[in-house]
Structure 1
Amino acid sequence: MPSASEMIVQTLEEAGIEYVFGIPGGGTGQIFQVLETKQDRIKTILVRHEQVAAIMADAYGRAAGKPAAIMGQGLFMGSNATFGIMEAMLSSSPMVVITDTSDGGAAQRPANQSGAGEYGSIDLQSIFKSMTKYTTLATSPKEAVLGMQMAIKHAVSGRPGPTTLLMRSAAINGQVDVESPPFIHNAAGFLNTVKPASAAVDIARAIQILNESRRPVIIAGNGVHVARAHAQLQELAEQWGMPVATSYKGKSAISEDHPLALGMVGTYGQETANKAVGDADTVLVIGALLRSQETVGERPDIFNPNRQRIIQIDIDERNAGWSFPVELGLIGDAKVILEQLVEASKEAAPGNAANRKEWTDSIPGRRDTGAYYDQPEMHEDSSPVKPQRLIAQLQATMEPSTIFALDAGNNRTWMAHLYRARQANTFYSPGGTAGMGWALPAAVGLKLVYPNQPVVCVTGDGGYMMTVNAISTAVQYDLPIICVVFNNNTLGMVNDHQPEGHKIASEFYPTNNATVAESMGAWGVQVSDSKDLPDALRAAQASGRPAVIDVIIDPGPSPDDWRAGAWRKGQT
């Protein structure tokens, strides 16, 4: 009879899972040993900390549209890995967690204790249930295999997300009786399901609302990325001459060079987008939760269901009409529903095009007067480097297909606000938890999906140091990412909000982050003059190695002025 470990790996292979990120430990060591014989089909990526394993898998799952697995010992997966798991849950990233209960007999606890919730130990099942779509505890070998199949199915069904297979030692160590029920079938068969569509009557109602509008606008969110609906979004917008704003997590749902693009709406967004959404009479929301960040704290001059007709598309019926009341909620996969709308619009959209012509024609002028992705400081060389100038030089030097992984803090705010995404589906960010330290390991996971495109991590020095060990993994597996560090020796967003002369716990000892990277085998350079940035970016690409460009940033400029200004406008 095959072992449970062998059949778990076989299940991963049947389901098309290509990567396992993790650190061997506890009962999972046996599964890693089976993976050693499968490296041509399922690649194991050794990380230096469970946190970065989960972040790598989160980013990989978003970009690939299918899960990677993370695997390691239970207590550390239920503690160290939780940031990446929570981010995957809140950002709809498919992921499978494989771990054990570290059963009794381990040196750290009496023989009758485990991580399954008994007195004196940790309830791992409750921990994982609190942040995943599905968690199962396997107590027998067959339960482990069946649980693995269901964990993969739940990770990709409906709204994607993380799932957990938690196993007792007996489940991992035993043999699987494949000759008696419940029988074990090929895992691929559990995944052959059709994405949900919306009812024809509801599609017709949406078309009627659009036809009655004179100033329709789209807000495209993370759901467009999750559904891979970029082409369908653009086609629908073009059919109706309907401008497109995006949420922060939806950034790059459409090229921001497209004539109908308004840029990002919300607190960190473009005034072009905020003003156009506010002027719209009809808002089609696609896969966006309409969080406070997108509506600038519910500013009524931007988003107001009392004067705007709202259609909201979401895979989860609880999300449509959750933050705000809607006239119509379309429940289903964003790509499928957009395809339905595109087909229904072929005859309907041209009918009242004249009613919308003035609105569509106003978009170029709105971009001209709204300083669309532009600030004067973007054109000023200096030493140290102004963050605005750094972003302008990234824009000028990196090709449009460059994939960006953002972090948290002011560095993220500058990038989201000023970098114009010239190609769809090129921006990834930790918008669920919005935690620091995400960008660097995320870039490693993204490089596995985009081996032939530049992948750039943009982070602050605070976030960089949180997960800097990911560079060692990038070097080991020859994944030539570029990491651009905003180095101002502070937690910038925190520091901005502290009064002068009373700073606390927000300033670092100066560190050369490029030298840190070089010690792990990466290419590195520190830049303090903006004139040297283009050459540094080109040299990093030419190195063919993981690279870190440590940019000494002028601590003076802050995004807080325009960020706070957006909120103040809503309070007057």
Structure 2
Amino acid sequence: MADMVSMAFRECYHGAPGPAFLEIPRDVLDAKVPTAKARVPLPGAYRASTRSAGDPAAVEKLADLLVHAEKPAILLGSQVWTTRGTAAAVELVRALNIPAYMNGAGRGTLPPGDPHHFQLSRRYAFSHADVIVIVGTPFDFRMGYGKRLSPDATVVQIDLDYRTVGKNRDIDLGIVGDAGLVLKSVADAATGRVDGGASRRKEWLDELRAAEQSALDKRLPHLRSDASPIHPYRLVSEINDFLTEDSIYIGDGGDIVTFSGQVVQPKAPGHWMDPGPLGTLGVGVPFVLAAKQARPDKEVVALFGDGAFSLTGWDFETLVRYDLPFVGIVGNNSSMNQIRYGQAAKYGPERERVGNTLGDVHYDKFAQLLGGHGEEVRDPADIGPALRRARESGKPSLINVWVDPDAYAPGTMNQTMYK
């Protein structure tokens, strides 16, 4: 049994980090063996280093591609954080003057306002770039399974797992290795090569910044909307303004988290957690519990869809019992709205509401019932003050915000699965 437990931990770190499942039958679990015959591995003594800096020839080739590219772009995925490769990623994009986009746990690699930090122009960049580097994230539905990358671009993929490289879309260069080590090796290989091509990139960055501003201008009316029910863009904009340098942001939901992904910008690496590309709803409360236990010095701010919160929300009582304060917000539209949109798009309005309509649950009263802080918000002007009162309460909290059920995130409407 000890060997199998050791194997499970090794598998968690084999290739891309992930969960391992080990089932121990009851008769084995309850059995006894003499301690003289038991071999219990020492902590860490069953681990082997799997960190690889990639094939040196491939690293040199990528450095050459980036030095000579006119319009490069890079997407920094979750593995940049899980490999603790933040510093290497920042060094690379700044040294070579490359616009960077981030997803998943890679968000926060570059701080908001950094000249290489881009968020809203990703589709434009991927349609016009001549070299695209995808780091530590798969070609899944978020990128149209790779179809949203220009067919004329040279595409490079870096990943811990060789099975992910080139999956769903052909690539020009694949590198299997630790994101941080590979990016550091590429930056070193490009050092001193005609300033790394950096001086030629100003026009490209200006072009992307203009596309970024254009996208922001289109959303600005919603970000500042005084409508009631509250527009989700106004809610996530208020949350973004509320975050501090020490705020860990957790998103748990479908459509509401898709809205937040376009607006909320964590201030530092390791400060973003979400359900992942498969949308594993219900992770929010467990994530809050884990984050507050692991980083009690950090503020935790969590945004839930009402459907997502209902899956594990009773553990709010656990947060109260263990005195783990956090600021929770429920974007309440009484619907599983991402599912609703998909059904309307595929099957028509007559089947839009099948199996995805929820009750008008007052989650603020639920929080109060369990000993936490709870408030209801219907006026967008009240969001900011309610968030601040939740922070000052020193308790686990839920701000129940009634949002417009007929507003859908662009990311929801553009998802391949709903076409």
Q: Supply the distance in 1 between the matched residues of 2:45 and 2:414 (Cα, whole angstroms).
A: 53
Q: Supply the distance in 2 between the matched residues of 1:460 and 1:210 (Cα, whole angstroms).
A: 41
Classify the secondary structure of the residue corresponding to 1:188: coil
1:307 counterpart residue number: 152
1:140-171 deviations in whole A, cap 9, x for unaligned?
xxxx2222222222223432222233223343
Residue 158 of structure 1, aligned match among 11, 15, 20:
15
1:538 counterpart residue number: 388
Which letter does structure 2 place at the counterpart of 1:423? A
Cα distance change of structure 1 residues 459 and 202 upon mapping to structure 2, 3 Å threshold: same
Residue 289 of structure 1, aligned match among 138, 148, 163:
138
1:236 counterpart residue number: 92
2:186 counterpart residue number: 341
Q: TM-score normalized by structure 1?
A: 0.67
CA contact (8 A) 1:221 1:287 kept: yes
1:394-415 deviations in whole A, cap 9, x for unaligned?
1222214321211232211211
After TM superposition, give the deviation of residue 349 of structure 1 in Å: 6.3
Q: Supply the distance in 1 between the matched residues of 2:264 and 2:358 (Cα, whole angstroms).
A: 27
1:405 counterpart residue number: 250
Q: Supply the distance in 2 between the matched residues of 1:250 and 1:340 (Cα, whole angstroms).
A: 19
Q: Supply the distance in 2 between the matched residues of 1:332 and 1:357 (Cα, whole angstroms).
A: 30
Residue 113 of structure 2, aligned match among 257, 268, 279:
257
1:135 counterpart residue number: none
1:188 counterpart residue number: 44
Larger radius of gyration: 1
CA contact (8 A) 1:221 1:253 kept: no
After TM superposition, give the deviation of residue 541 of structure 1 in Å: 0.8
Classify the secondary structure of the residue corresponding to 2:398: strand
Identity of aligned residues (%): 23
Q: How does 1:84-483 map to 2 (within 5 A)?
A: 144-180=1-37, 183-191=39-47, 193=49, 195-247=51-103, 250-263=106-119, 270=120, 272-295=121-144, 298-299=146-147, 302-304=148-150, 306-348=151-193, 350-371=195-216, 374-483=219-328
Instruction: Give the number of the structure with larger relative contact order, counting CA–CA contacts within 8 Å between residues 6 or more apart.
Output: 2
Unaligned runs of 5+ in 1: 1-143, 264-269
Which letter does structure 1 place at the counterpart of 2:75? I
Cα distance change of structure 1 residues 515 and 152 upon mapping to structure 2, 3 Å threshold: same
Cα distance change of structure 1 residues 294 and 355 upon mapping to structure 2, 3 Å threshold: same
Cα distance change of structure 1 residues 248 and 153 upon mapping to structure 2, 3 Å threshold: closer
CA contact (8 A) 2:248 2:266 kept: no
Q: Supply the distance in 1 between the matched residues of 2:48 and 2:190 (Cα, whole angstroms).
A: 29
Q: Supply the distance in 1 between the matched residues of 2:163 and 2:11 (Cα, whole angstroms).
A: 18
Cα distance change of structure 1 residues 429 and 372 upon mapping to structure 2, 3 Å threshold: farther
Residue 515 of structure 1, aligned match among 362, 365, 371:
365
Which letter does structure 1 place at the counterpart of 2:216? A
Q: TM-score normalized by structure 2?
A: 0.90
After TM superposition, give the deviation of residue 513 of structure 1 in Å: 0.7
Classify the secondary structure of the residue corresponding to 1:371: helix
CA contact (8 A) 2:245 2:268 kept: yes
CA contact (8 A) 2:107 2:265 kept: no
Q: Aligned residue pairs: how many?
A: 413
Q: Supply the distance in 2 between the matched residues of 1:426 and 1:536 (Cα, whole angstroms).
A: 22
Which letter does structure 2 place at the counterpart of 1:403? I
Cα distance change of structure 1 residues 393 and 169 upon mapping to structure 2, 3 Å threshold: closer
Q: Supply the distance in 2 between the matched residues of 1:549 and 1:402 (Cα, whole angstroms).
A: 17
